[in-house]
Structure 1
Amino acid sequence: MKIPFHKCISVTTDGTPATVGRDQGLITRLKKDMPSMLAFHCIIHQTVLCGKLNDHFQQLMCKAMKMINFVRSQSALRHRILRKFLKEIDATFENLLTYNNIRWLCKGNALSRLWSIRQELTSFLNTCTSLNARQFQEMSSSEDMSDLAFLVDICGHLNDLNLKLQGKNKTIINTLPAVQAFSHKLESFLVDVQGDMLHFPTLKAFLDDDEEMASCTAEYTHFIEKLQQEFSNRFSQFESLKHIIQLIKAPQKAKPNGEWVTQLPLKSVNVSSLQLELCNLKGTDIDEIEEGFYLKASTKAEYPQLAQLGRWLYTVFAATYICESAFSYMNNIKSKLRSTLTQDHLCHLLRIACCSREPDYQEIMSSHKQFHVSH
């Protein structure tokens, strides 16, 4: 596809040096020709970086992952024995999940599975004759188990946010409010972890069962405060679009002289004309504003400035989910069983996999005069 670069209004990257390099990066080169172009670091990537562990929690995570690898990956025989053991005792799950640092949801899911069968796994490790199994016995201490329960809960909340940010049709209008909402949730988490722990059910259940264990609220409070700071720092670049998003989502409720005036990203939009359009829109009976509203011919005719701003904002993708999913489709298509697949066929199959439209099979069939016949 030959798309002119001057029509590019924003670029979303995964933050690699090749894309964000100061001198030779892709963003730097593009901005030489398009100074007004916006550049974002993928929101999904940034939420993962915000939840990056360090110090004691990182050490605990490494121990947990080493335990999983010891049981599941280092010995096929030990892995088969574990699965048979979990099946015989009717455990909640019959296997552990392998941790992969690249996959976005893997950390929380692996921890949750490990916690669900922790007692069964401890019994299994006690029966192992390998000397390496003894290094995991120290994880059975109350302090480590309490911290692990906290990680299960907080990683679960981060996973919920991650799932909300994924999807083909998720633009910055959908994703940024979800991040802002999670930032507000962190304020509730900070108060809750020092009180009833309603948002930390795993940690609360463990502390209720272990009467001798006192809650280490200082460490957990510090972790959540640091998480708040990370979200505040990493998503500060999106603050300039907050009022513009509110304007596009509910223009009938926006003030003509609101804060959006100073945050207007498009120089081609006439502020005075847009203010008058907002005043005219308030006198109509329009209740819901959706994406299709800005694509209608009537909207372009009656509210040209608002329609231009709306179309611009709905084309801004703040995540690289579509690109990441395209790589996954390609890996599934280009398997070892398709070694003779040509480049043209791969492009066609990838386009079909990424496209959401349903082909008209009847028309395709009728356009062929003769099909393959048996010999």
Structure 2
Amino acid sequence: MKVVVRIVNYIRSHGLTHRQFKEFFFSFEEEYPDIPYHAEVRWLSKGKVISRIFRLRHTVAQFLESKGRPEPLFHDPEWVADLGFLADIMAFLNDLSLKLQKENNLINDMISKINAFQYKLKLLKNNLSEKNTQHFPELASVQEGGRFEKYVEVLQSLENAFNDRFQEISYLQPILDVFVKPFSMDIESAPSDLHFKLIDLQSDVHQKDVFYNTKGLLQFYQNLSKEEFPKIAVSQSLVPDLSSIIANKIKSP
């Protein structure tokens, strides 16, 4: 990462160098005539930077040599394979981040995406332990220098980090179930102070019909009587607080 950032910042911070770089790329008729500027505060942009540099590494290496600043790591098979692996991993993380930032996401949507990503990590780890690069297109293109045992360790570390950061989710599940599926959840699995009102709600044919015919959970709770179902109606107010937990967990890389 540090090597790529140094190269990109060298190219982008010098106007003449940047212009020459673009002209150099056009002379090779490359698919990508430029590279995105990297800033430390925009860590998600690193994924795009890594991927672009990886795919254009031969041309970037030639350009740096033409400027008298050769980068020997571009000729190191192990380092190039590591770069490909990193590009693939950052692509997965960027994709997750975009899904979590999707407009009108509710807490249950976010948790579902995080749970899915954690399952994917297990699959990816098992794949690489067998040197299967099916889901790693960049690494697959240069797997000659791949250090698969190291990559499995990285994925294990990433899996541990996710498990650690989002361990609160299991404790929040009962209240989330009340919010997401109030008419189908098992009463006894809900918080005890909601048992009687959940029974009343599930027995209310009108409310059940409204629930299954309303577009969106929030609309249903906005119309649910706070006098008749105070604690259940109030449960939807927890959603912003729970969402902030998720947001805070993904702010840092």
Which TM-score bucket, shorter chain as reference? Answer: 0.7 to 0.9
Q: Which residue of 2 aligns with 1:142?
A: 77
Q: Which residue of 2 aligns with 1:192?
A: 127
Q: Which residue of 2 aligns with 1:51?
A: none
Residue in structure 1 matching 2:108, options 165, 173, 184:
173
Q: Which residue of 2 aligns with 1:201?
A: 137
- Whether the 8 Å contact between 2:81 and 2:145 is mirrored in structure 1 is no
Q: Take 2:88 and 2:75, find their aligned partners in 1: how far apart are those partners?
A: 18
Q: Which residue of 2 aligns with 1:274?
A: 197
Unaligned stretches of 5+ in structure 2? 248-253
Counting matched residue pairs gives 241
Q: Deviations over 1:191-220 (max 9, x none)?
A: 12234322211111222xxxxx25311100
Unaligned stretches of 5+ in structure 1? 1-60, 208-212, 263-269, 322-375
Residue 103 of structure 1, CA deviation: 1.0
Q: Deviations over 1:261-286 (max 9, x none)?
A: 27xxxxxxx42323413542589455
Q: Give the TM-score, by structure 1 length.
A: 0.58
2:168 counterpart of 1:228:
no
2:231 counterpart of 1:295:
no
Aligned residue identity for 1:180:
N
Residue in structure 1 matching 2:182, options 251, 260, 263:
251
Counting only pairs closer than 5 Å after superposition, residues 322-341 of structure 1 correspond to structure 2 as none
Say which structure is richer in helix: 2
- Whether the 8 Å contact between 1:256 and 1:278 is mirrored in structure 2 is no
Q: Which residue of 2 aligns with 1:346?
A: none
Q: Take 1:99 and 1:151, find their aligned partners in 2: how far apart are those partners?
A: 16
Q: Which residue of 2 aligns with 1:306?
A: 232
Q: Deviations over 1:246-301 (max 9, x none)?
A: 3311222210001x327xxxxxxx4232341354258945536621001115x546
After alignment, is 145-154 or 185-194 more displaced?
Answer: 185-194
Q: Which residue of 1 aligns with 2:191?
A: 261
C-alpha RMSD over aligned residues: 2.5
Residue 303 of structure 1, CA deviation: 4.1
SS where residue 188 of structure 1 aligns? helix
Counting only pairs closer than 5 Å after superposition, residues 1-375 of structure 1 correspond to structure 2 as 61-73=1-13, 75-128=14-67, 130=68, 133-134=69-70, 136-167=71-102, 169-195=104-130, 196-207=132-143, 213=144, 215-258=146-189, 260-261=190-191, 270-280=193-203, 284-285=208-209, 286-287=211-212, 290-297=217-224, 299-300=225-226, 303-310=229-236, 312-316=237-241, 317-318=243-244
Q: Take 2:146 and 2:128, find their aligned partners in 1: how far apart are those partners?
A: 9
Aligned residue identity for 2:200:
E
SS where residue 99 of structure 1 aligns? coil
After alignment, is 143-152 or 94-103 more displaced?
Answer: 94-103
Q: Take 2:166 and 2:114, find their aligned partners in 1: how far apart are those partners?
A: 9
Aligned residue identity for 1:189:
L
Q: Take 1:191 and 1:278, find their aligned partners in 2: how far apart are those partners?
A: 45
Q: Take 1:281 and 1:125, find their aligned partners in 2: how far apart are those partners?
A: 72
Q: Deviations over 1:87-109 (max 9, x none)?
A: 12211111122211211421101
Distance verdict in 2 for CA 1:244–1:165, change over 3 Å: same
Residue 302 of structure 1, CA deviation: 5.7
Aligned residue identity for 2:149:
A
Distance verdict in 2 for CA 1:254–1:108, change over 3 Å: same
Q: Give the TM-score, by structure 2 length.
A: 0.84
- Whether the 8 Å contact between 1:186 and 1:224 is mirrored in structure 2 is yes
- Whether the 8 Å contact between 1:171 and 1:318 is mirrored in structure 2 is no
Larger radius of gyration: 1
- Whether the 8 Å contact between 2:61 and 2:74 is mirrored in structure 1 is no
Q: Take 2:27 and 2:153, find their aligned partners in 1: how far apart are those partners?
A: 42
After alignment, is 236-245 or 182-191 more displaced?
Answer: 236-245
Distance verdict in 2 for CA 1:142–1:281, change over 3 Å: farther
- Whether the 8 Å contact between 2:129 and 2:148 is mirrored in structure 1 is yes
Q: Take 1:127 and 1:86, find their aligned partners in 2: how far apart are those partners?
A: 13
- Whether the 8 Å contact between 1:294 and 1:300 is mirrored in structure 2 is no
Q: Take 1:319 and 1:165, find their aligned partners in 2: how far apart are those partners?
A: 12
